[in-house]
Amino acid sequence: MKKVWSVVLTACMLVMTCAGCGESNTPAAGSADNTTKTETSKAATSTEKKENKESKSVDLTFFTGKVETVDLIDSIIAEYNAQSDGVKVEQEYQADASNIIKIKFASGEAPDVMTTYENEYVDQGKYLDLSNENEWWDRLIPSMKESCTDLASGKQYRVCTNMTMAGFFYNKEIYSELGLSVAKTWDEFESNLQAIKDAHPDVDPWFIFGEAWHLGHLIEFLPHGYIKAKYGAIGAKEAMLNNDSSKLNWGDPNGAMCTFAKNLVELQQKGLINADVLTATSDNCVDAFVTGKCAMFSNGMWCLSGILEKDASMADKIGFAPYPSFMDDGVPVVLVAEDSGYSISADSANVDAAKDFLSYLFNAENQKKYAESLGSPSAFKDVDAKWAPDSVVQGVNDAVASATNIGFTNEKPAGFSGDDAGRLVQDLLAGTYTPEQFAKKYEEAWNAGF
């Protein structure tokens, strides 16, 4: 039996030896095998590279509430996506953006890039610190960088691309016909409205549209404007951030908020604003102004392009005026502020892609198109844009020089947005509240928002 196993083992060893000799003495077969291995390796590498490229693809979310820019941003996004290396940006527009963003933050679904901004979200660490993005800041007008600077930290969490002004747009032909001058006080303002109503019963002296954001702006520019002018930009910011009721006095029946409400209700009762205020839209407002059915309306430069698209000849008819003083110790004010601000979520997994997209959006060519489309001056020093006809630009410059300049209210509590405030104005105009009740409700909502 041992002899048998010995023979078997010897035979196996001979076979293995021959096999080894055969492999080493057949170069052709060996080359073919190596070629196969090389091709297999190349195919694997190619597949690996493809998989790596696919794994680097990024779906970037861009969130905005700025309806005037949706189409233009969509076109810029399409151009960016076509040239990007695996980054696909998708824009989401929400009319109620300031409230929708609360839900997104709360649910952990914050967009990568957003135009919504609240100071309280800065305090909560929701936004990425952009202070070191010198590629952007070096191009920005210094005053606009200052407007983007958080008061408490001294850092920047958003970048604005434009400046904007807001006040009253008015029909210069109607004013000239009736010999009216731009009002500095509320009494003068109401007198102008009444003169227009008496001379043109079919014309709405002041057209107000009932969209929440627009009504919220009336609060920012009038009662908030009074606080900003009275205490100065820094003083007003501190009063709002600290919720200093001794200065804000939102619920005071003799304060700015209640006085604003009384004035608005009085104009409504006298028929000096449009009867369909609660259902009217921004498009309705533009149509009424272009067709001569309204004499004036409140808005910012962002509405200018829509007016001129409807009727380019309106350029010579557009006047621009500050908001008149409506408190005894008040002064006329006009909004001069940053516009079109962009922030990146601190929790974004795509920070590099977000910065790359914003750099593309911020390039001079895109910003020239943006400024001219929006009808708003660029905040970048290297962008030369003809944002409005010369006659409009001159009127705006005159208004800015004649009144106290105020900014947006970024210091309002995140739990009480501008849209929320606008809905309270809707209730006021619907008769739900008296002016005194409105002021109290506003104060309660403001305090609860903190």
Residue 23: what pLDDT? 38
Tell the burial category of 103 from Cβ atoms under 10 Å away from its Cβ (0-12, 13-18, 19+): exposed
User: CA 120, 278, 114: angle at the middle one, nearest 5?
Assistant: 30
Question: In the structure encoding, which two tokens stand for residue 42, read together?
Answer: 């190349």
The Cα–Cα gap between 155 and 396 comes to: 31
Per-residue pLDDT of the chain (450 residues; tens, 9 = 90+): 334 334 333 444 433 333 443 333 333 334 444 444 444 444 444 444 344 434 469 999 999 998 889 999 999 999 999 999 899 999 999 988 988 999 999 999 999 999 999 888 998 999 999 999 999 999 999 989 999 999 889 999 999 999 999 999 999 999 999 999 999 999 999 999 999 999 999 999 999 999 999 999 999 999 999 999 999 988 999 999 999 999 999 999 999 999 999 999 999 999 999 999 999 999 999 999 999 999 999 999 989 988 999 999 999 999 999 999 999 999 999 999 999 999 999 999 999 999 999 999 999 999 999 999 988 899 999 999 999 999 999 999 999 999 999 999 988 887 898 999 999 999 999 999 999 999 999 999 999 998
- Structural domains in the chain, CATH included, are 57-163+339-374 (3.40.190.10), 164-336+392-449 (3.40.190.10)
Separation of alpha carbons 148 and 209, rounded Å: 29
Amino acid at site 165: M
Under 8 Å between Cβ of 124 and 301: no
Strand partners, 405: 334
What is d(CA 217, CA 214) in angstroms, rounded to the nearest whole number?
5
Q: Strand 294-300 and strand 318-321: pairing?
A: unpaired
DSSP 322: P
C-alpha to C-alpha distance for 360 and 363, rounded to whole angstroms = 5
What phi and psi, each to the nearest 5 degrees, are found at residue 44?
Answer: -65, -40
pLDDT at 98: 87
pTM (2 decimals)? 0.75
**Structure tokens that stand for 362 in this block:** 């911020």
- pLDDT for res 56: 65
Question: 24 is written with which tokens?
Answer: 């080493």
Cα angle at 162 between 156 and 165, to 5 degrees? 110
Residues in contact with 70: Cβ distance below 8 Å, sequence separation at least 6, in sequence order: 64, 91, 93
**C-beta contacts of 305-311 below 8 A and 24+ residues apart:** 305/68, 305/373, 305/374, 305/375, 306/68, 306/282, 307/169, 308/375, 308/389, 310/286
Question: Angle formed by the axes of helices 364-374 and 70-83, to 10°?
Answer: 160
Element (H, E) at 171: strand 159-171
| pLDDT of res. 188 | 98
CB 63 within 8 A of CB 113: yes
Show the tokens assigned to 292. Answer: 């001569």
Contact 228, 235 (CB under 8 A): no
* φ, ψ of residue 206 in degrees (nearest 5): -130, 120
Q: Where are the alpha helices (DSSP H) in 272-331?
A: 282-290, 304-310
